[in-house]
Structure 1
Amino acid sequence: MDLYQWFDKGMTIQEYIDSMKKNKEGMLHIYESFRLPEDEDFFRKVKAKNLRVIALTEDWCGDAMLNNPILFKLAEKTGMEVRLLLRDDNLELMDQYLTNGKSRSIPIYIFIDEDGNEVAKWGPRAEKIQQFVDDARQELPPKDAADFEEKAKEVYANIGQTFQQREDFWLEVYESMKAALA
């Protein structure tokens, strides 16, 4: 299946938001709070490319909660149409965009031109965010430890809260997406 067929298969932003069962409040908080920087030259260049975006995502994913609203704002500003596909229902596409060749990490954004050709890919995390997550995971006990599940829930809850509060993280995500599209 070519990328344009995947795009056509996806949900609109509103359909995705309406379907969300997890992280909806956090995602909407970031969406309503984030302001794009004054970057008119960049916005004009992206708009001129007439791109579309395929977003592989899931509502349970904290990274998607952080990144999707930044993408949505950028898409609105530049006229990019976004279609969202649930990762777990679209493994055939997901498996073409594995992180480090093995992980089904999300979100993954595939930017395509009018002919359905991939022109850029972004995800699952900006570099600064990856470092923050790696550092947070250092607090976890070994996976075979009796308290691993409990500690993992605490660490990931803290990461999610941080994603909702740190405006510098939102800007870092934006800058990372900008670099991918430049």
Structure 2
Amino acid sequence: MSLNQWFEKGLTADQYMTGMKVNQNEMSQILEQFSLSDGEKEILASLKDKGLKAIVLSEDWCGDALLNNPILLKIAEEIGMEVRFLLRDQNLELMDQYLTNGTSRAIPIFIFINENGEEQAVWGPRAKELQDLVDQERSQLPSQDKPDFKEQQLAMYKRLLATYQVDENLWHAVAKSICDTIIK
């Protein structure tokens, strides 16, 4: 299937968000609160109305998606870019073409295509600053064979999700990372 066909198969942002069973409020909150900076808007100005489209491989339970997806939607709004969402677990044929490190079905993955359906750029699943934060948190976990590993891991995920929802510096790090990827 061509990337244009995958795009056409996807859900609009409204359809995706309406169908969310997990993290809908958190994603909506970031969407309402986040605004692109003047510098980010300036960087994006050259992409306005260029016919760029984005395919988002995502799932509503994903913490990274609840942060990254609304920021992408703000970028899309700024440049007039259409966005369609595909649920990762229902679209493994496409997902498996965009594995992180060649092995992981990490999400979200943003596939940017031109009006002819040609891939222009791929971004995801995390900005470097987010990856650094996750790596730092993971480094503090006990080894997996320790009895409290699962409990500590769940606590880590809760801390990360709480941070994702309020840390505007992370929001702008994600925006910059996405902008840098699609401008190249």
TM superposition shift of 1:58: 0.6
TM superposition shift of 1:48: 4.0
Could you say which residue in structure 2 is the equivalent of 1:38? 38
Q: Structure 2: how far apart are the matches of 1:119 and 1:66?
A: 23
Which residues in structure 2 correspond to 1:12-161 (within 5 Å)? 12-39=12-39, 40-161=41-162
Contact 2:49 2:81 in 1 (8 A): no
Q: Structure 2: how far apart are the matches of 1:44 and 1:34?
A: 18
Percent identity (aligned): 51
Moved over 2 A (4+): 39-44
Pairs aligned (count): 182
Q: Structure 2: how far apart are the matches of 1:127 and 1:44?
A: 24
Q: Structure 2: how far apart are the matches of 1:44 and 1:139?
A: 41
Q: Scaled by the length of structure 1, what TM-score is found? A: 0.97
Q: Which amino acid aligns with 2:178?
A: M
TM superposition shift of 1:86: 0.6
Deviations 1:109-142 (A, max 9, x none): 0000010000011100000110000001112112
> What secondary structure, in the 3-state scheme, does the structure 2 residue paired with 1:50 have?
coil
Q: Structure 2: how far apart are the matches of 1:176 and 1:44?
A: 16
Q: Which amino acid aligns with 2:32?
A: E
> What secondary structure, in the 3-state scheme, does the structure 1 residue paired with 2:84 have?
strand
> What secondary structure, in the 3-state scheme, does the structure 2 residue paired with 1:49 have?
coil
Q: Scaled by the length of structure 2, what TM-score is found? A: 0.96
Gaps of 5+ in 2: none
Q: Structure 2: how far apart are the matches of 1:88 and 1:178?
A: 27
Contact 2:44 2:179 in 1 (8 A): no
> What secondary structure, in the 3-state scheme, does the structure 1 residue paired with 2:48 have?
helix
Q: Structure 1: how far apart are the matches of 2:129 and 2:17?
A: 27
Q: Tell me whether 144-153 or 34-43 shows the greater mean CA deviation.
A: 34-43
Q: Structure 2: how far apart are the matches of 1:38 and 1:108?
A: 26
Superposed CA RMSD in Å reads 1.0
Deviations 1:118-170 (A, max 9, x none): 00111000001100000011121122222221111100011000000100000
Q: Which amino acid aligns with 2:35?
A: R
Could you say which residue in structure 2 is the equivalent of 1:2? 2
> What secondary structure, in the 3-state scheme, does the structure 2 residue paired with 1:8 have?
helix
Deviations 1:75-117 (A, max 9, x none): 0111100000011111111110011111111000000001000
Q: Structure 1: how far apart are the matches of 2:43 and 2:51?
A: 13
Gaps of 5+ in 1: none
Q: Which amino acid aligns with 1:33?
A: Q
> What secondary structure, in the 3-state scheme, does the structure 2 residue paired with 1:119 have?
strand
